[in-house]
Structure 1
Amino acid sequence: MRTGRPGTMAVLVGALALAALDVPAAEAADTGITVSKVVVNSGKPIIVGITEEKLPPISFHMNWPSGYDLGDADGDPFLYHDTTVSKGADGGGIYTTSYTCYEDGSHAANCEGELIIKPRRTLDSNNDATTWKIGASALLWGTDGQPEHEYLTGLGTAQVKRAARATVNASPEPVTKGKTLTVTGKLTRADWVKHAYTGYSGKSAKLQFRKAGTSTYSTIKIVKASSTGALKTTVKASADGYWRWTFSETATTGGATAAGDYVDVK
């Protein structure tokens, strides 16, 4: 379904405009539509948990042939991986919810909208934490009311990563100055198969300390998590302050930092 006003066009999408309009695919057609300058999530990785719906922004530029109006052309982008662009368009991809295009010249428009990711429906494997390709479904409505359709490829990539968490506990509290302080914690990350946060096995995390009355954390040591994601180490208590575990993102997983645990040193 398409709605709009002169100079703009809003495209409401289910899976893709093509599917919503029940138009037969004709991949060999040359619509003359081009899609370029695609930016997903402001160029940042999309970090996804296990339940929260994500709506990463998407923007792109679209051109269409002379002799047609903005309302005659669709250039609906989507993400896909480990398959062909046509199969990615038919299912297993990440699609737009809607987008609006603003004409900026002769047969050209700048468009912006949102993708939608529902972890339980969109992501069914932890292998989905990878680099996704960007394709587009181009649809041109002819003067005879019949559409031409093709899939566009080579429009860029976007990263989708598993969300992660870190916890911390420092004890005993309070502790005598110079005595041993035990700092534990756990690293977990989203498992899109089990629909739960599970232990981040073997991941190294930084133990950091911020002295009371200051604003900067310093790294004290680096510890590798156990097979269940557990962290444990000991330090000498020297001053009142906050302890935390932190780690940076990887190719498949977002980073995480625990809220500081305050320890009173007597």
Structure 2
Amino acid sequence: MHLRATVAAVSGAVALSALALPAAHAADGGSSYRAHVAEALAQHAPGRSARTAAAAPVGDLNVSFSGFRISKAIKVGTGARVSPVVTYKLTHGADVDITDPAFLTGPMIYRGRAEDPVNIQGGEAPATCVETSATTATCKGRIDIDPRETGVDVKLRNSQAGTWHGAALAWDVDSDRMSLQFGLGSTLVRRNAVLTANAAPEPVKKGRTLTVTGRLTRADWQDHKYHGYSGQPVKLQFRKKGSSAYTTLKTVRTNSAGSLKTTAKATADGYYRFSFAGTTTTAAVSAAGDFVDVK
């Protein structure tokens, strides 16, 4: 089963443009199915504002969502799919049978305003739910983020790094009733970063000057390469041999190419590394420590 969702604005309403359904219900083909879902959502959510959509579920299926839990930050590179786990509580009316194979639910995250998201990411499979009472269940699903996805509504763009918000969907395929709820939490979707460090010369006499070089690069979601991240503060750190903790020696900034170059006095055997704290758009990263033998 697939539950891959993308959202577009249709006549001022939220429309879900891609959501696959179980094989038993998919005989009409993907394109007609997507059109059907878009039409259903347009009917369920005409003229809803971001505040209204975020405050309560939209649609005619008696389902609501709460307790949306996702990792605080998600880092996405240039190739591999990333699939963070989401858990949430589903509350439903007595007229809704969540054990029916025709009932689908799943989490999503979106970037932008609830009434007109610029991107929305869902899962390749629906969530699984465990009933906790006659009208409640705990659900667990995944968000599948593929940096190489090319669909217009799901293609990641560098400008979309930062805060994304949670949403969830429930749909009874047989009765064609649906609930869609925005504003269920937030997470940071950040561009992955890579950081290197090299200390020279090796070995070095005690008291002599070491030169430490490196480079900070980050994923470009549009050309699927890594490029230098300029103007960023990066800490030079040292860990003495036999110790488990790094100490910050100084902070330096990357140049226009993301490169780093600084010096330190050799005092004892140990490891030198650069460490980047990250930003709202770019993941934190520390280079592997480079061991220097001090004579």
Partner of 2:69: 39
Maintained 8 Å contact 1:175/1:263: yes
Q: Alignment RMSD, CA only?
A: 2.1
Q: Deviations over 1:64-114 (max 9, x none)?
A: 2113311264343211112545x65xx831102221111110122111121
Structure 2 CA distance for aligned equivalents of residues 215 and 92 of structure 1: 42
Maintained 8 Å contact 2:111/2:120: yes
Q: Is the alpha carbon distance of 1:241 and 1:262 closer, same or farther for their aligned partners in structure 2, counting shifts above 3 Å?
A: same
| Paired positions, count | 248
Maintained 8 Å contact 2:147/2:156: yes
Partner of 1:13: 3
Structure 1 CA distance for aligned equivalents of residues 183 and 267 of structure 2: 56
Normalising by the residue count of structure 1, what TM-score does the alignment of the two structures yield?
Answer: 0.85
Structure 1 counterpart SS, 2:197:
strand
**Match for 2:239 among 205, 210, 234?**
210
Counterpart residue type for residue 123 of structure 2: T
Structure 1 CA distance for aligned equivalents of residues 85 and 111 of structure 2: 19
Structure 2 counterpart SS, 1:67:
coil
Structure 1 counterpart SS, 2:264:
strand
Structure 2 counterpart SS, 1:80:
strand
**Match for 2:273 among 226, 238, 244?**
244
Partner of 1:188: 217
**Match for 2:282 among 229, 253, 256?**
253
Structure 2 CA distance for aligned equivalents of residues 106 and 225 of structure 1: 57
Higher mean C-alpha deviation, range 73-82 or range 219-228: 73-82
Segments of structure 2 that go 5 or more residues without pairing to the other structure are: 7-15, 22-32, 46-58
Partner of 2:124: 97
Maintained 8 Å contact 1:210/1:217: yes
Counterpart residue type for residue 131 of structure 1: T
Structure 2 CA distance for aligned equivalents of residues 207 and 40 of structure 1: 32
Segments of structure 1 that go 5 or more residues without pairing to the other structure are: 2-11
Maintained 8 Å contact 1:97/1:113: no
Q: Deviations over 1:225-250 (max 9, x none)?
A: 10111111112212111111001121
Maintained 8 Å contact 1:50/1:196: yes
Q: Deviations over 1:196-248 (max 9, x none)?
A: 11111011111111122222211111111101111111122121111110011
Counterpart residue type for residue 95 of structure 1: G
**Counterpart check, 1:27 vs 2:59:** no
Structure 1 counterpart SS, 2:122:
strand
Counterpart residue type for residue 181 of structure 1: L
Q: After the TM superposition, which residues 1-266 of structure 1 pair with which residues of structure 2 at under 5 Å, given as runs?
A: 12-15=2-5, 19-21=19-21, 22=33, 23=36, 24-25=39-40, 26-28=43-45, 29-41=59-71, 44-70=72-98, 71=100, 73-85=103-115, 88=117, 92-98=119-125, 99-121=127-149, 122-140=154-172, 145-266=174-295
Structure 1 CA distance for aligned equivalents of residues 112 and 73 of structure 2: 18
Counterpart residue type for residue 161 of structure 1: R
**Percent identity over paired residues:** 41
Counterpart residue type for residue 224 of structure 2: H
